Structure 1
Amino acid sequence: MYNGDEIAVKKLHHLVGLDDKAFDSEFRNLSKVQHQNIIRLIGYCYESRHQYVKLNGELVFAKEMERVLCFEFMEGGSLDHHIADDSCGLEWPTCYEIIKGTCEGLNHLHNSQGKPILHLDLKPANILLDKNKTAKIADLGLSRLVASTQTHKTEVVKGSQGYMPPEYIDDNLISMKFDVFSLGVIIIKIMDGNMGRSRCSEMGSEPFIEFVCKKWMTKLRAKSGYSSDEIDRKCMKKCVEIALRCVVADRNKRPLIKDIVKELEELEDEINKMSRSSVQEAVIPTCLLLIRPWSCASYLSQGKIYQAACS
């Protein structure tokens, strides 16, 4: 507990080159990051002690350091627990909000801190959900602050298998496009489960997009009162298209995260215009016209709102 609130505690493994000064500096920088889609870093503690350890078969007296990071507690757990081989167990509005929130959080890391902050280990296990299923990027304690947007070469192996881009696997090159590649893999898994990437490779881009949209639309149409096919399909298609551009092998052809966020904002504007047009055509009672335009995801429930208002 911290100030009456539950917190999550994460013990760090030893990291080559991360001494007390470097750790303290990185923590202070990361603790300044404040965004609704980034987990809040509350504090840290560490303990150092000397003990005998084996080195090359011999006992040596060495200093051992243990570091612990403290974060806000996330009741919804991690995203990976909701993703199966063939699907995501969450509803489509929630999935869309998770995709959008993850993009906005990553954009904040890359473009709102003076120096870009590269996550370098973005994956479903590091996207946590609060009680309202709001997505928050976690594990910032192992990220890297860079002085520019240039590509860098590193000797330290980081990242998780399946989420690392080819330029890192082959040449240890890191840039903001590293995180963009990881984001693309995450979106594909949200949209089509853990088998999504292999299925996309087998089917090709356009058939894969059609397959994913059809699968989600079938699931949505099975619900009573559902009535927003055009809007949902537009959102689904845009999300998959973005994901496929993020995972291309040539990093120079991947979009920047700021451009992805701009695309989603433009999509929201388009959806809001469609929403207003639908409201006018349906001649909804005046009281409903006072409701502010629906977002892409929340629009999904308007069919039920109409039904309730007219009954």
Structure 2
Amino acid sequence: MTDGGQDNELAALEKVLLDKSADPVDLPFSLLKAITGNFSEDNKIGRGGFGAVYKGVLPSGHTIAVKKLFEQFEILDKNFACEIACLVGVKHKNTVRFLGYCSETQHVMRLYEGRSVWADVRQRLLCFEYLPKGCLADYLSDASCRLQWTTCYQIIKGICEGIHYLHQQRIIHMDLNPQNVLLDNNMVPRIADFGLSRRLSGSQSRAITDHKLGTMGHMAPEFLNNGEITFKTDIYNLGVIIMKILMGHKESSSVKEAVESWTDMFGTSNNHTSLEQVKACAKIGIECTNYYPGNRPATWFIIRGILGDVGISNWSITGDVGTSTEGQISIASKLADELKLMDGSAVTPSKLPPSTLEVEQDDGKLSQERKRKASNVSVASRVMSILHDKLLEASG
């Protein structure tokens, strides 16, 4: 039984759930406690580094996901407010929908040094749409759950488009991994868990932190070594996910083996399009995990590469394309006719944006080193980053 106030709050939550244009709502702790069965173990559907996720069932029968942050973590109100502000502005088909939040202080009894004492406990919770297919990690950890290529391609493409959207909003996710990619009923990926996200200001291109939090095996080298955060940090995470999807459940030990495995799966169907998609994703995945952030491709280039719009599919995974400047310029000239700017106009070498070799601002001025690179590095160097030596070593 609910009182009148809680009925109104439930109605507001239902509205947000059904109306994708509605803004998230502030919810009382008592309501979230009620719909999750007092956060019962039976309703627990996940657990991360900062909190547990519970299934919340509304009186209408609709289900939502309620993330309850752990009490032992000291989370400043300012940080929590920043996370909410970030989530409120995120609305895309490849990001999980944010429905509501709660931040309340509860006066509760706690055991302290063998005695029961009253304590003020800050409860912080986040509410999201419930996605019944679980997370991508579930499908990568079990060989029996290997996905068909059409589904894998849809997932890779969707994650790339989601990250592209976030970067357009100046948001760096910071913890992109298979557990934080949820799947809806149609296996469409939704990027979730923005707990470590950073939003950069319009003039800011990087940040430095002493708190190196994230998922081991997915964190970019420059973040692990120096605490450096840029948009290319997410690109590294993205590359790891792409390679995990391609390689499956430890069935392949190299990119070449992964491509051969998919080729065998296609069998005699002569599915040329799918094979070219696999090759394109493999090359993009490797380039995204380049050790040097400046050599990782930007999101728009990744999407065009995966779609086959930049001629990637014409290159052999094991073939030697040459490393001389003349050879790279020749190939880049061919690509220049195929590349299009976001507004659809043709791209010439002089028009190509500094994508895979990002030129970062430093107090409004380029450093001498960046100036040198900006003036000396050809279009070929930017475009041909997808054929870095690492690709040849990994797939040769």
Aligned counterpart in structure 1 of residue 229 of structure 2, from 147, 167, 174: 174
Aligned counterpart in structure 1 of residue 100 of structure 2, from 35, 38, 43: 43
Task: Give me the TM-score of the superposition, normalised by structure 1.
Answer: 0.72
Aligned to 2:288: 246
Aligned to 1:143: 197
Q: Does the 8 A contact of 2:146 with 2:248 survive in 1? A: no
Task: Give me the TM-score of the superposition, normalised by structure 2.
Answer: 0.58
Shift, 1:60, TM fit: 9.2
1:53–1:117 CA distance, 2 compared to 1 (3 A): farther
For the pair shown, the structure with the greater C-alpha radius of gyration is 2
Q: What is the DSSP-based 3-state SS (H/G/I as helix, E as strand, rest coil) of the residue aligned with 2:290?
A: coil
| Inter-partner Cα distance in structure 2 for 1:117 and 1:196 | 34
| Inter-partner Cα distance in structure 2 for 1:171 and 1:268 | 33
Aligned to 1:78: 135
Shift, 1:37, TM fit: 0.5
Aligned counterpart in structure 1 of residue 305 of structure 2, from 263, 266, 273: 263
1:268–1:179 CA distance, 2 compared to 1 (3 A): same
CA deviations over 1:140-164 (Å, ceiling 9, x no partner): 2442211145221112231100000
Q: What is the DSSP-based 3-state SS (H/G/I as helix, E as strand, rest coil) of the residue aligned with 1:245?
A: helix
Aligned letter for 1:152? A
Q: Does the 8 A contact of 1:69 with 1:141 survive in 2? A: no
| Inter-partner Cα distance in structure 1 for 2:238 and 2:293 | 13
Q: Does the 8 A contact of 1:86 with 1:192 survive in 2? A: no
Q: Does the 8 A contact of 1:153 with 1:174 survive in 2? A: yes
Aligned to 2:271: 229
CA deviations over 1:108-137 (Å, ceiling 9, x no partner): 0001x2xx1111111001100001100110
Q: Does 1:118 align with 2:172?
A: yes
Count of residue pairs brought into register by the alignment: 254
Aligned to 1:213: 259
Aligned letter for 2:211? V
Task: Tell me which protein shows more helix as a share of its residues.
Answer: 1
Q: Does the 8 A contact of 2:68 with 2:126 survive in 1? A: yes
- For structure 1, the residue ranges without an aligned partner over 5 or more in a row are 201-207, 272-311
Aligned counterpart in structure 2 of residue 184 of structure 1, from 228, 236, 239: 239
- For structure 2, the residue ranges without an aligned partner over 5 or more in a row are 1-9, 15-59, 314-396
Shift, 1:217, TM fit: 1.8
Aligned letter for 2:264? T
Larger RCO, structure (CA 8 Å, separation 6 or more): 1
Aligned to 1:109: 166
Aligned to 1:10: 67
Aligned letter for 1:258? W
Q: Does 1:23 align with 2:80?
A: yes
1:84–1:154 CA distance, 2 compared to 1 (3 A): same
RMSD between superposed Cα atoms in Å: 3.0
Shift, 1:219, TM fit: 1.4
Q: Does the 8 A contact of 2:239 with 2:286 survive in 1? A: yes
Q: Does the 8 A contact of 2:133 with 2:187 survive in 1? A: yes
Aligned letter for 1:123? N
Shift, 1:182, TM fit: 0.6
Matches within 5 A, 1:33-72: 33-50=90-107, 63-72=120-129
| Inter-partner Cα distance in structure 1 for 2:305 and 2:213 | 30
1:15–1:232 CA distance, 2 compared to 1 (3 A): farther
Q: Does the 8 A contact of 2:154 with 2:188 survive in 1? A: yes
Higher mean C-alpha deviation, range 121-130 or range 44-53:
44-53
Q: Does the 8 A contact of 1:188 with 1:196 survive in 2? A: no
Q: Does 1:193 align with 2:248?
A: yes
Percent identical: 36
